[in-house]
C-alpha cells in the first residue's frame, strides 16, 4: 500500500523524509521517492526498489538539501513499478510536486483533456494528472490552485503538494484515504500512517474527507472543501510503532479484514462508468467473446475457492460453461483445452508456481489467459494475455482476506461485462445486479458490523477438535473457504462438504457437540440446507448458521446464527465469507496461535 510523508521546518527535510519512509516499509511497496524544495527549486529523487537504495543514491538525504519536502513509497496500481512511475511527480514547469495515495477514477478522461491541451506525460500513473492540473490551474495563489485541482478529481486520494513558489509550505488533502497531520514545535509533518509520525511527535490532527491543510514550520491551518478555515482538535497518539503498523489492530489479518470495504471499492469503482462495467484491460468485442465455448478457472487455495464461488455468476450471466480446476491438478490433467477456451487465472501474489505452470500448459494448447492478480508486474500478470488487477493493496497476513474478496469483486464485474456484451443479460437483471455491485463496499462494512457476536461464539467453539462447514451451490464455495481459513490459522481440523453429500459418508463423524457451520445464504436452496441441519442436529451437532438478516426460519433451526445483509445470491459469497474470516480469526486468537504467520505456510508459494 502506498505511503506518504511530508515535512516542513528548519532541519534538512530529506533525511527525515527517508526515515519516515522506512517506517512505512511494512505496508509493502515497490518504489520510493522524495521531492525537496531547496535554493535551486524542487529536486526529485525516485527509484524502483527499496528505500535503502534511495538512501544510498541521495547519501542519506545529504545530496538533496532543503527544509521542505514530500516523500512516497509506491505500491504499483496504474503502471509497472518503474523509476518513472514512482512518486513524487513533477509538473512540466518544475514548480509543482505531488505524492498521492489512492486511485483517481477519472484519470483517463483528465489525461485525454490535458494531452489535447499540449501537456506532456512522462509516466503511466493516474497520479500524474494531478501535477499537470496544478500547473494548468496555477493562479498565483497555492490554496486556490489546489482547490481548483481537487475539484476535478474523482476517486480516493491523500495528497501531499509542494510548490516552488512557497518555500516552507506544504499542502495536504484528504478524500477517502487516510492522512494525518503531525504537530511539532517549529516543524510540522503529515503522513498516511501514524507509524511515520510517532518518532517525531505524539500530537496529531486527523483530517476528515474533503478537508485540506496548509502546513508551515510555524503552524497548521485546516480548511473545509469550500476553503473555509476550520478548527480541528489535536489528538494524542498513544500507539507505539508496532501497534501503529497494524493500525491499532492486534494482527495484520484483522486489519486486512477491516480494510475490505475500501479494497473492494478500489477494485470496483474505477470500473463502473455511467452505469456500465468498463474493463479496459479486457475490452473484447461481442464477436471475440463468442469465440469462447468454455471458461476454465484455475488457481490454488483461496484463489481457487474464489473461482469456485464466482463460477456460478460467470455461468449464469454469460451462459458459457464454466469449470474451476485446481492448478496443481490441471497442469497434469491432459486437459481438453483449445483456442476456444478462456482461461481465467486467479492469484493474489501472481507468483504461485502451480498456477503459473497450469497457465503455461493451457496456453500451449491454444487457450487465451485472463489473469486476475493483485501484485502488479508479477509473473502471472506479465505472462497472461490480459490482466485485471484487483487493487487490494499489499496483503501482509499469510491468510488471505481482502485478496479473496477483491478477486470475487473483479470476477463479478467480469461476469456482468461479458454477459452484457454477449446479450445474455437483460436490462432488468443487469440493473438489479448493478445496484448490488455499487452497494458492495457498504454491505461488506455492514457484514463486519453485524458480526459483533463472533468473539463470543469463538469462545464456544475454540476447543473443538474438528469443525464441519456445509452449504449448497454458492454457499458450498463459501464453506470451502471457511474451512480453509479455520485450518490454516487455528490448526483445528475443519472439513467442508456440499450439504447434500453429508449422508453419503461424512455424517458418520457427527457426534454429540460436533460444531457444524451451515452457510444458508442461497435462498432458493435454504430449505434443502435446513433439512441437512436437521439431520446433523439429530446426531447431536451444534449448528452455527450464516444467513441473511431477517431470515426467521433459520433462527428456530440453528443453535446460533450470524447474519449478513441481503444481496443477490450470485454475489452472496463476498458477504458470507466475512463471518468465516472473523470466526477463524477469533478461534485462532482464543487458542493463542501465531495468526499472521501460521506454521508451515508461506505467503507466496513459488515451489510446486
- Least separation, in Å, of the C-beta of 50 and ligand F6R? 22
Whole-number Å distance between alpha carbons of 9 and 20: 15
Residue ranges with strand state E in 235-385: 235-236, 272-273, 276-277, 294-299, 322-326, 341-347, 368-373
Residue 390 within binding range of ligand F6R, rule CB under 6 A: no
Cβ nearer to ligand F6R, comparing 191 with 263? 263
Q: Which three cell numbers stand for residue 261?
A: 470495504
Q: Please pick, from the candidates 488, 551, 560, 596, the single residue that binds ligand F6R as defined by CB under 6 A.
A: 488
Which residues, at least 6 apart from 273, have a Cβ–Cβ distance to it below 8 Å? none
Active site residue 603: yes
> Is 150 within 8 Å of 181 (Cβ atoms)?
no
Cβ nearer to ligand F6R, comparing 300 with 410? 300
Q: 3-state SS of the chain: helix, strand, coil percent to 5?
A: 40, 25, 35
Q: Which stretch binds ligand F6R (CB under 6 A): 14-22, 45-53, 349-357, 541-549?
A: 349-357
Cβ nearer to ligand F6R, comparing 211 with 488? 488
Residue 399 within binding range of ligand F6R, rule CB under 6 A: yes
- Least separation, in Å, of the C-beta of 2 and ligand F6R? 20
> Is 416 within 8 Å of 425 (Cβ atoms)?
yes
- Least separation, in Å, of the C-beta of 377 and ligand F6R? 14
Q: What do you get for the CA distance between the two ends of the chain, in Å?
A: 28
| Catalytic-role residue among 2, 119, 300, 308 | 2
Cβ nearer to ligand F6R, comparing 12 with 379? 379
Whole-number Å distance between alpha carbons of 175 and 165: 25
> Is 308 within 8 Å of 482 (Cβ atoms)?
no
Is 24 in a helix, a strand, or coil? coil
Q: Could you give phi then psi for residue 231, rounded to 5 degrees?
A: -95, 130
Residue 355 within binding range of ligand F6R, rule CB under 6 A: yes
The residues pairing with 159 across neighbouring beta strands, listed in sequence order, are 100, 173
> Is 509 within 8 Å of 607 (Cβ atoms)?
no
Cβ nearer to ligand F6R, comparing 77 with 557? 77
Whole-number Å distance between alpha carbons of 515 and 520: 16
Task: State the burial class of residue 297 (Cβ atoms within 10 Å of its Cβ: 0-12, 13-18, 19+).
Answer: buried
- Least separation, in Å, of the C-beta of 303 and ligand F6R? 4
Q: Please pick, from the candidates 191, 303, 356, 545, the single residue that binds ligand F6R as defined by CB under 6 A.
A: 303
**What string marks each residue from 565 to 604 as x (binds ligand F6R by CB under 6 A) or -?**
---------------------------------------x
Q: Please pick, from the candidates 387, 400, 464, 496, the single residue that binds ligand F6R as defined by CB under 6 A.
A: 400
Tell me, rounded to whole angstroms, the distance of Cα 320 from its chain centroid. 28
Q: Please pick, from the candidates 58, 201, 349, 496, the single residue that binds ligand F6R as defined by CB under 6 A.
A: 349
The CB density around residue 569, as the number of other CB atoms within 10 Å, is 19
- Least separation, in Å, of the C-beta of 344 and ligand F6R? 13
Cβ nearer to ligand F6R, comparing 559 with 604? 604
Angle between helices 301-318 and 402-421 (to 10 degrees): 20
Angle between helices 402-421 and 260-268 (to 10 degrees): 30
Q: Which stretch binds ligand F6R (CB under 6 A): 133-141, 275-283, 294-302, 414-422?
A: 294-302
| Catalytic-role residue among 148, 202, 232, 603 | 603
Residue 302 within binding range of ligand F6R, rule CB under 6 A: yes
Taking CB under 6 A as the criterion, which residues in 308-327 touch ligand F6R?
none
- Least separation, in Å, of the C-beta of 252 and ligand F6R? 13
One DSSP character per residue, 40-55 reads TEEEEEEEES-HHHHH
Cis peptide, bond prior to residue 112, ω within 30 of zero:
no
> Is 232 within 8 Å of 222 (Cβ atoms)?
yes
- Least separation, in Å, of the C-beta of 487 and ligand F6R? 9
Residue nearest to ligand F6R (CB): 301
Residue 301 within binding range of ligand F6R, rule CB under 6 A: yes
**In the 3-class helix/strand/coil scheme, how is 171-212 assigned residue by residue?**
EEEEECCCCEEEECCCCEEEECCHHHCCCCCCEEEECCCCCE
**What string marks each residue from 79 to 118 as x (binds ligand F6R by CB under 6 A) or -?**
----------------------------------------
Residue 387 within binding range of ligand F6R, rule CB under 6 A: no
Active site residue 300: no
- Least separation, in Å, of the C-beta of 488 and ligand F6R? 6
Whole-number Å distance between alpha carbons of 303 and 306: 5
Cβ nearer to ligand F6R, comparing 543 with 576? 576
Cβ nearer to ligand F6R, comparing 114 with 299? 299
Cβ nearer to ligand F6R, comparing 125 with 352? 352
Question: Which of the residues are catalytic?
Answer: 2, 603
Q: Could you list the residues that contact ligand F6R (CB under 6 A)?
A: 300-303, 347-349, 352, 355, 399-400, 484, 488, 604-605
Amino acid at each position: 500500500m502506498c505511503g506518504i510523508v511530508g515535512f516542513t521546518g528548519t532541519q534538512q527535510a530529506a533525511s527525515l523524509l527517508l526515515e519516515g519512509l522506512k517506517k512505512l516499509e511494512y505496508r509493502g511497496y515497490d518504489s520510493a521517492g522524495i521531492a525537496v524544495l531547496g535554493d535551486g527549486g524542487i529536486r526529485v529523487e525516485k527509484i524502483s526498489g527499496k528505500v535503502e537504495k534511495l538512501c544510498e543514491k541521495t547519501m542519506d538525504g545529504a545530496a538533496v538539501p532543503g527544509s521542505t519536502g514530500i516523500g512516497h513509497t509506491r505500491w504499483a496500481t496504474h503502471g509497472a513499478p518503474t523509476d518513472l512511475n514512482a512518486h513524487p511527480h513533477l509538473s512540466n514547469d518544475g514548480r509543482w510536486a505531488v505524492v498521492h495515495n489512492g486511485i483517481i477514477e477519472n484519470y483517463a478522461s483528465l489525461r485525454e483533456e490535458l494531452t489535447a491541451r499540449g501537456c506532456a506525460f512522462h509516466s503511466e500513473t493516474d497520479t500524474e494528472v494531478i501535477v499537470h492540473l496544478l500547473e494548468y490551474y496555477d493562479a498565483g495563489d497555492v490554496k486556490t490552485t489546489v482547490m481548483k485541482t481537487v475539484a476535478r478529481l474523482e476517486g480516493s486520494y491523500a495528497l501531499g503538494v509542494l510548490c516552488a513558489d512557497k518555500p516552507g509550505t506544504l499542502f495536504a488533502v484528504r478524500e477517502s484515504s487516510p492522512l494525518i497531520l503531525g504537530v511539532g514545535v517549529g516543524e510540522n509533518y503529515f503522513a498516511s500512517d501514524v507509524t511515520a509520525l510517532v518518532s517525531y511527535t505524539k500530537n496529531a490532527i486527523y483530517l476528515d474527507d474533503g478537508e485540506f491543510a496548509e502546513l508551515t514550520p510555524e503552524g497548521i491551518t485546516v480548511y473545509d472543501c469550500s476553503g473555509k478555515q476550520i478548527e480541528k482538535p489535536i489528538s494524542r497518539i498513544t500507539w507505539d510503532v508496532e501497534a501503529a503498523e497494524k493500525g491499532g489492530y492486534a494482527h495484520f489479518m484483522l486489519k486486512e479484514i477491516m480494510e475490505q470495504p475500501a479494497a473492494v471499492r478500489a477494485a470496483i469503482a474505477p470500473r463502473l462508468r455511467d452505469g456500465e462495467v468498463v474493463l479496459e484491460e479486457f475490452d473484447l468485442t461481442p464477436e471475440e467473446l463468442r469465440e469462447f465455448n468454455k471458461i476454465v478457472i484455475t488457481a490454488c487455495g483461496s484463489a481457487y475457492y474464489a473461482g469456485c464461488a464466482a463460477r456460478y455468476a460467470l455461468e449464469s450471466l454469460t451462459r458459457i460453461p464454466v469449470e474451476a480446476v485446481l492448478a496443481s491438478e490441471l497442469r497434469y490433467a491432459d486437459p481438453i483445452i483449445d483456442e476456444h477456451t478462456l482461461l481465467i487465472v486467479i492469484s493474489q501474489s501472481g507468483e504461485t508456481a502451480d498456477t503459473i505452470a497450469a497457465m503455461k500448459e493451457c496456453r500451449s494448447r491454444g487457450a487465451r489467459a485472463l489473469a486476475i492478480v493483485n501484485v502488479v508486474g508479477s509473473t502471472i500478470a506479465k505472462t497472461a494475455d490480459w490482466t485485471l488487477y484487483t487493487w487490494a493493496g499489499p496483503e501482509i497476513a499469510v491468510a488471505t482476506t481482502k485478496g479473496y474478496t477483491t478477486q470475487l469483486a473483479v470476477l463479478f464485474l467480469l461476469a456482468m461485462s461479458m454477459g452484457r456484451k454477449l446479450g445474455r443479460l437483460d436490462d432488468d437483471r443487469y440493473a438489479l445486479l448493478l445496484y448490488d455491485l455499487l452497494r458492495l463496499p457498504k454491505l461488506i462494512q455492514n457484514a463486519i458490523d453485524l458480526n459483533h457476536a463472533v468473539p463470543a461464539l469463538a469462545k464456544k467453539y475454540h476447543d473443538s477438535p474438528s469443525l464441519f462447514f456445509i452449504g449448497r451451490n454458492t454457499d458450498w464455495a463459501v464453506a470451502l473457504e471457511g474451512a480453509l481459513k479455520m485450518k490454516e490459522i487455528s490448526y483445528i481440523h475443519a472439513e467442508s462438504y456440499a450439504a447434500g453429500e453429508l449422508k453419503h459418508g461424512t455424517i458418520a463423524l457427527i457426534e454429540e457437540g460436533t460444531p457444524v457451520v451451515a452457510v444458508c445464504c442461497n435462498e432458493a436452496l435454504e430449505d434443502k440446507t435446513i433439512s441437512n441441519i436437521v439431520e446433523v442436529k439429530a446426531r447431536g451437532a451444534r449448528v452455527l448458521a450464516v444467513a441473511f438478516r431477517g431470515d426467521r426460519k433459520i433462527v428456530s433451526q440453528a443453535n446460533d446464527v450470524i447474519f449478513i445483509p441481503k444481496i443477490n445470491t450470485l454475489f452472496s459469497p463476498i458477504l458470507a465469507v466475512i463471518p468465516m474470516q472473523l470466526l477463524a480469526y477469533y478461534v485462532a486468537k482464543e487458542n493463542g496461535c501465531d495468526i499472521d504467520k501460521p506454521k508451515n505456510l508461506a505467503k507466496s508459494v513459488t515451489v510446486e
